[in-house]
Amino acid sequence: MEPNQLNITLPPSPIASDVINIWDIGGQCGTNPIHLLRNGKKIKKLTDTVALDQDGIFASLIYKDETYGWLIKT
């Protein structure tokens, strides 16, 4: 873990259409990325940790299903 990164652990048992909104209101994600920890579910069909690293980003995570997992709309 980087000294100034933030980790957000996603729910372990989401259901279809669950939504999580994340907003970098301080505009620091470019320097201090937000890492999305999967907690066993995929993110965009991947099994990797995803980092939000754009200053001021607003991201909506929508859970689709076991195949796709969490989809991200920015």
Q: 8-53: per-residue pLDDT in tens?
A: 999 999 999 999 999 999 999 999 999 999 999 999 999 999 999 9
- Domain 6-73 sits in CATH at 2.60.120.640
Residue 36 falls in which region: left (phi positive, over 0), alpha (psi -120 to 50) or beta: beta
pTM (two decimals): 0.89
Task: Answer yes or no: are the C-beta atoms of 12 and 72 closer than 8 Å.
Answer: no
Q: Is 69 exposed, middle or buried (0-12, 13-18, 19+ CB in 10 A)?
A: buried
Q: What is the token pair recorded at 51?
A: 């980092």
Q: What is the pLDDT of residue 4?
A: 73
Q: Is 18 exposed, middle or buried (0-12, 13-18, 19+ CB in 10 A)?
A: middle
